A and B are shown apart, each in its own frame.
Chain A
Amino acid sequence: MRLSRRELIALMLGAPAVATGCSPPPVVPLHGELFGQSFDIGHRLRDGFRPRPADDQWRDVQVAIVGGGAAGLSAGRALLQGKCDDFVVLELEPVAGGTSRSEKKGDFAYPWGAHYVPVPLADNVPLIRLFTEMGVVESLAADGSPIVAEQYLCRDPEERLFYQGEWIEGLYPATGASVDDHVQLKAFRELIDTFAAWRDSTGRRAFAIPTSLATDDKEIMELDKLSMADWLRYEGFNSARLHWLVDYSCRDDYGLSAETTSAWAGLLYFASRLRAPGADHQPLISWPEGNGRIINHLAEVVGPRLQTGMAVTQLTPVTSDRGDFVEVTCFNTQTQSVTGLRARHVIFAAPQFLAPRLITEFTERTKRKTDEFEYGSWFVANLHLKDRPKQQQGYPLCWDNVMFRSRSLGYVVATHQAGRDYGPTVLTWYYPFTESHTREIREKLLKATWADLADVVLTDLEVPHPQIRQLVERLDIFRWGHAMIRPKPGFIASQQRREARHPDGRIHFANTDLSGVALFEEAFDHGCRAADEVLSMLPQDRV
């Protein structure tokens, strides 16, 4: 059943928002569009849609990459660097990028999802190479750490919090904090520092990015059994302000509350960004279009091998006298035509939950299940403003703007990084569904209309910006059904997750969900690894 607007606001923003936000009739005199992942073809596949190409519609290719998000495109780039150029990247959506997708309209470029990457530490050499190629990293310091071009580092002022009716600097709700609150914040930071200093017997860090560089030592992996909130309590932290900060961080990075995020993942967020104990967290790299900039670069590198609007409907490993290969069935969502690829190798750069649906006899052959891979739903709005909200006092507009009482994550300002400080701008507003009953939420989200959702966005933003409705000229919304993998307690250490990266014959896996945390660095790492797996096998194929 479709929810009323009031019910939707109550569901998403909580009861107080209904009381304050809904009193005037919510007439939204603006326009916009509602976008989403291609639910249609996804659901047809789920319901058994398996078209078969005609016999003359087959062709051979060395590698087929399924999925044109960060992992798939990174794999494509890595193949090219390994001198393999006979591959295709098949992307279901009309636009590549997955959750790093972005858009450009008129003068403005803005993200639809991921929008920053912390400056990589010296040990993340492949990512530093990518950023050097993009001109983002200008040179290396003596210790190998990257020196990032100033214009790509998130410009000051970076973040602010709307707390008790006023914008304050930073994300910690410091106004009125007691001595105990400050003591706990300091103690928390010191504890994070001990994790930053921690090394296992082989010199690996407790928390590193990519996570493949981090330890698998039992002492650290045990943390996955706890929730982040439990861990805080276990360590004796009861400051409501600290709990809020940690909860916000979990919602921001994982779309989960502190109560439902694995303590391992929660600590990864804080500890992996420290170069050394006591250091400031690594600066952030950002672009007006967010991580869409990286996607655009990768797409340019891959070139015409990237095919969008191309749904892969089936992957079937085949053994024949001509050798082993994988039959890839593709459905062109534009022309509705069906074609086939005989690929020597497949890099499956799509979420794991699709593997049993698309790969023939996957479960029977691999004895692997994917039911512990759980994905959160998000919804993102881009608001085109004719001018910025007027503000008399408090900390000025930042890149990241967070509201303390809100269930949303607040908004980032697309023009911030471009140095445009006046006049029209675009705000990208994020909302994660942190609830555990994902399927139910997803269905409700699908039934909500644009006007309903637009009203949720505006009701949320009206708290700090009462005049926001007069400033918005266009409001587009993107619904992400399966947006990000959820690192709930136990998932990181689970056998399902640890085994999922192993190839199924000639099918190799690359996606950020294999790490259990949705981060660009993880997608990139898996893309490069899967490409390396393929490249190491290609010489044998040629024989």
Chain B
Amino acid sequence: MSAGSMNRAPLVLLYLNVLIIATCGLVYELLAGTLASYLLGDSVTQFSLVIGLYLSAMGAGAWISRFVADKSLARCFIEVELGVALVGGLSAPLLFAAFSRVDIFGVVLYGFVFAIGSLVGLELPLLMRLLKEHLDFEDLVSRVLAFDYIGALLASLMFPIFLVPRLGLIRTSLLCGLLNAVVGVWGTYLLRPLLNRHGLLSLRIRGALVIGLLLIAFVQAETLTKLSEESALGHAVIHAETTQYQRLVLTRSEQGFRLYLNGHLQFNSMDEYRYHEALVHPALSPIKSPKQILVLGGGDGLAVREILRYPSIESVTLVDIDPGMTTLADRFPPLAELSKASLRDPRVTVINEDAFIWTGRANGPKFDAVVIDFPDPGNFAIGKLYTTRFYRMLRDRLNDGAMISIQCTSPLVAPKSYWCIVSTLEATGYQVRPYHAPVPTFGEWGFILASAGPIPDQLALSKDLTGKSRFLNDEVLNGMFVLPHDLVRVKTDINQLNNQALVHYYDEEWGVWK
């Protein structure tokens, strides 16, 4: 090796390269672990698997490095950098895109982890072989490993503190890719004497292409994110699909995950128990031993989870139009965990049909209680499920003394919408008791307890719920029926099929249409 091939200054720069490589390497590992636990749930298993696989892949990479001939060391190192840049940099965007499109997502994810791990595993051995001409062995090992561990510390600090909160997973991954690519292109200058002229040009062109691609993706990710749900919803989108009926989006943040339907929040895993306890138990607790229950909407299975707490339950019929919704728990394990896989319970029958059509069918079964968990009446197709016609048809589904509970948007934000539903039920001949509950993610939320017969003044939680309910006790249960001054009743029209008054109120109050 001629003396002019490398001077001392670039050697320092090469240590900086080690630092960058090490930082990026660990970030890819953290990204893969985070992504896996976001998307597949069960973070202990996912992190453990990702770390194990990643480290073993690094070992494989190190082992492969011995097959690289001395004369092509420099070229190989740069090519590996560009490879890491490409595979690692695009890992998060590609994995997110693949999740909703690929059936065998696990294979794709772990494939990526192994590929990145192998490439990262190649980096240091190649670099050390490049440097060994210039340092004695002890010096080399100590310095390179020191920078490697510093890089790891840097990554583990920056990832949770700066990268994920500021950049999000996708741009973090693209940024690391860019850094790797820059190291690669930089290498073509630092290692210039070790490269032949033809190879040099080709490497620089490839490097420029990789940097260009990642830059476009990075910029694009920014503009796209601005437009996309991620920015609208304020959290990382971890699952999105468009079914025949609606757009389902799941986001994740430190406090848990959220489900949005057509951009409307359905629940936050952190506080959904408040909503679902408030929705279900007022209807079920007045019934001595509830057996046959009907759930309309509620395809997430969370209301059913609450219903199944009553040991007397013989059957739950859930009617939700969207099979994409009622099977979401099968594809998104954290939801199954949250709902206790309630829709897989043998007592539960799921029917994917428009509740309007199903309820209107002659001679259908009758129920002891009905829990109505439709989305807010943001369009005409949903608005029909809050009409006098619908509530009239529902009467034929009720056993004597049956109770109905209905989620009815926020009486604070949308008082006309809320009281329109109350008036509509009254106009259909129901006894009605309005109530409300605070659900931090939603705000002040409104419900209605209705019955064709009398509703008891005082409710008491079933003994079966003792120690199980996280939100309700008898005092809170009855307290929900006390309305504060700012939820005072307003006069409204009655919602009918031919006026859809509710959709108009809702539109006006929530400003859904622009």
Asked whether A and B interact, the reply is yes
B245 at interface, CB cutoff 8 A:
yes
Are A150 and B379 CB-contacts (below 8 A) given A155-B497, A156-B499, A422-B321? no
B498 at interface, CB cutoff 8 A:
yes
Residues of B within 8 A of A420 (CB): 354, 357
A151 at interface, CB cutoff 8 A:
yes
Number of chain A residues close to chain B: CB under 8 A: 17
Query: Which of A150, A420, A423 is the most central at the interface, judged by chain B CB atoms within 10 Å of its CB?
Result: A150
Please state if A422 and B500 are interface contacts (CB–CB under 8 Å): no
B389 at interface, CB cutoff 8 A:
yes
Residues of A within 8 A of B380 (CB): 155-157, 396, 421
Please state if A423 and B244 are interface contacts (CB–CB under 8 Å): yes
A106 at interface, CB cutoff 8 A:
no
Please state if A157 and B354 are interface contacts (CB–CB under 8 Å): no
Residues of A within 8 A of B389 (CB): 150-151
Residue of A nearest to B498 (CB): A153
Residues of A within 8 A of B500 (CB): 155-157
Please state if B360 and A419 are interface contacts (CB–CB under 8 Å): yes
Residue of B nearest to A417 (CB): B497
Give A156 to B386 CA distance when docked, in angstroms: 13
Please state if B498 and A156 are interface contacts (CB–CB under 8 Å): yes
Q: What 1/0 mask marks residues of chain B from 487 to 514 whose CB sits below 8 Å from any chain A CB?
A: 0000000001111100100000000000
Please state if A422 and B498 are interface contacts (CB–CB under 8 Å): no
Please state if B354 and A419 are interface contacts (CB–CB under 8 Å): yes
Give A419 to B379 CA distance when docked, in angstroms: 13
A154 at interface, CB cutoff 8 A:
yes
B384 at interface, CB cutoff 8 A:
yes
Number of chain B residues close to chain A: CB under 8 A: 22
Query: Which of B321, B357, B388 is the most central at the interface, judged by chain A CB atoms within 10 Å of its CB?
Result: B357
Residues of B within 8 A of A177 (CB): none
Residue of B nearest to A155 (CB): B497
Residues of A within 8 A of B497 (CB): 150-151, 153, 155-156, 419
B356 at interface, CB cutoff 8 A:
yes
Query: Which of A153, A283, A387 is the most central at the interface, judged by chain B CB atoms within 10 Å of its CB?
Result: A153
Please state if A419 and B498 are interface contacts (CB–CB under 8 Å): no
A418 at interface, CB cutoff 8 A:
yes
Please state if B354 and A421 are interface contacts (CB–CB under 8 Å): yes
Residues of A within 8 A of B392 (CB): 150
Residue of B nearest to A285 (CB): B498
Closest-CB distance, A284 to chain B (whole angstroms): 9
Residue of B nearest to A397 (CB): B380
Please state if A154 and B356 are interface contacts (CB–CB under 8 Å): no
- Please provide the chain A residues from 402 to 424 with a CB less than 8 Å away from any CB of chain B in the complex: 418-423
Are A422 and B499 CB-contacts (below 8 A) given A150-B388, A156-B380? no
Give A151 to B356 CA distance when docked, in angstroms: 12
Give A508 to B360 CA distance when docked, in angstroms: 44
Are A422 and B384 CB-contacts (below 8 A) given A153-B497, A154-B498, A283-B498? no
Residue of B nearest to A415 (CB): B357
Please state if B381 and A421 are interface contacts (CB–CB under 8 Å): yes
Please state if B245 and A419 are interface contacts (CB–CB under 8 Å): no
Give A150 to B244 CA distance when docked, in angstroms: 28
Query: Which of B321, B383, B498, B503 is the most central at the interface, judged by chain A CB atoms within 10 Å of its CB?
Result: B498
Give A150 to B494 CA distance when docked, in angstroms: 12
Residue of A nearest to B392 (CB): A150
B172 at interface, CB cutoff 8 A:
no
- Work out how many contacts link A and B, with CB atoms closer than 8 A: 51
Residues of A within 8 A of B317 (CB): none
Are A155 and B498 CB-contacts (below 8 A) given A419-B357, A420-B357? yes
Give A381 to B392 CA distance when docked, in angstroms: 35
Give A153 to B496 CA distance when docked, in angstroms: 10
Residues of B within 8 A of A396 (CB): 379-380
Residues of A within 8 A of B360 (CB): 419
- Please provide the chain B residues from 362 to 395 with a CB less than 8 Å away from any CB of chain A in the complex: 379-381, 383-384, 387-389, 392
Please state if B245 and A422 are interface contacts (CB–CB under 8 Å): yes
Residues of B within 8 A of A423 (CB): 244
Closest-CB distance, B507 to chain A (whole angstroms): 12
Give A154 to B498 CA distance when docked, in angstroms: 6
Residues of A within 8 A of B387 (CB): 150
Please state if A150 and B496 are interface contacts (CB–CB under 8 Å): yes
Please state if B356 and A419 are interface contacts (CB–CB under 8 Å): yes
Give A158 to B387 CA distance when docked, in angstroms: 16
Residues of B within 8 A of A158 (CB): 498
Residue of B nearest to A398 (CB): B380
Please state if B496 and A422 are interface contacts (CB–CB under 8 Å): no
Closest-CB distance, A136 to chain B (whole angstroms): 13
Residue of A nearest to B388 (CB): A150
Residues of B within 8 A of A419 (CB): 354, 356-357, 360, 384, 497
Q: What 1/0 mask marks residues of chain B from 455 to 493 whose CB sits below 8 Å from any chain A CB?
A: 000000000000000000000000000000000000000
Closest-CB distance, B495 to chain A (whole angstroms): 10
Q: What 1/0 mask marks residues of chain A from 154 to 166 whose CB sits below 8 Å from any chain B CB?
A: 1111100000000
Q: What 1/0 mask marks residues of chain B from 391 to 412 whose CB sits below 8 Å from any chain A CB?
A: 0100000000000000000000
Give A151 to B387 CA distance when docked, in angstroms: 10
- Please provide the chain B residues from 312 to 352 with a CB less than 8 Å away from any CB of chain A in the complex: 321
Residues of A within 8 A of B321 (CB): 422
Give A418 to B499 CA distance when docked, in angstroms: 16
Give A419 to B390 CA distance when docked, in angstroms: 10
Closest-CB distance, A469 to chain B (whole angstroms): 20
Residues of A within 8 A of B384 (CB): 155, 419, 421
Residues of B within 8 A of A421 (CB): 354, 380-381, 384
Give A158 to B379 CA distance when docked, in angstroms: 14
- Please provide the chain A residues from 118 to 170 with a CB less than 8 Å away from any CB of chain B in the complex: 150-151, 153-158
Residues of B within 8 A of A155 (CB): 380, 384, 497-498, 500
Give A419 to B498 CA distance when docked, in angstroms: 11
Please state if B356 and A422 are interface contacts (CB–CB under 8 Å): no
Closest-CB distance, A351 to chain B (whole angstroms): 34
Residue of A nearest to B383 (CB): A156
Residues of B within 8 A of A150 (CB): 387-389, 392, 496-498
Residue of B nearest to A154 (CB): B498
Residue of A nearest to B356 (CB): A419
Residue of A nearest to B497 (CB): A155
Residues of B within 8 A of A156 (CB): 380, 383, 497-500, 503
Query: Which of A151, A158, A420 is the most central at the interface, judged by chain B CB atoms within 10 Å of its CB?
Result: A151
Residue of A nearest to B514 (CB): A393
Closest-CB distance, B429 to chain A (whole angstroms): 14
Residue of B nearest to A158 (CB): B498
Closest-CB distance, A275 to chain B (whole angstroms): 16
Closest-CB distance, A424 to chain B (whole angstroms): 11
Are A422 and B354 CB-contacts (below 8 A) given A150-B498, A155-B384, A157-B500? yes
Closest-CB distance, B69 to chain A (whole angstroms): 57
Q: What 1/0 mask marks residues of chain B from 210 to 238 whose CB sits below 8 Å from any chain A CB?
A: 00000000000000000000000000000
Are A418 and B357 CB-contacts (below 8 A) given A396-B379, A423-B244? yes
Give A153 to B497 CA distance when docked, in angstroms: 8
Residues of A within 8 A of B496 (CB): 150, 153
Residues of B within 8 A of A151 (CB): 389, 497
Give A150 to B500 CA distance when docked, in angstroms: 11
Closest-CB distance, B188 to chain A (whole angstroms): 47
Closest-CB distance, A373 to chain B (whole angstroms): 37
Residues of B within 8 A of A154 (CB): 498
Q: In the complex, given contacts A150-B498, A156-B383, A396-B380, what are 8 additional A-B residue pairs having Cβ atoms less than 8 angstroms apart?
A: A150-B389, A150-B497, A155-B497, A156-B498, A156-B500, A421-B380, A421-B381, A422-B245
Could you write out 24 A-B pairs with CB less than 8 Å apart? A150-B388, A150-B392, A151-B389, A151-B497, A153-B498, A155-B497, A156-B380, A156-B383, A156-B498, A156-B499, A156-B500, A156-B503, A419-B356, A419-B384, A419-B497, A420-B354, A421-B354, A421-B380, A421-B381, A422-B244, A422-B245, A422-B321, A422-B381, A423-B244
List residues of A whose CB falls within 8 A of some B CB.
150-151, 153-158, 283, 387, 396, 418-423
10 nearest A-B pairs in the assembled complex, by CB-CB distance: A421-B381, A156-B500, A153-B498, A419-B356, A155-B497, A150-B389, A150-B496, A150-B497, A151-B389, A157-B380
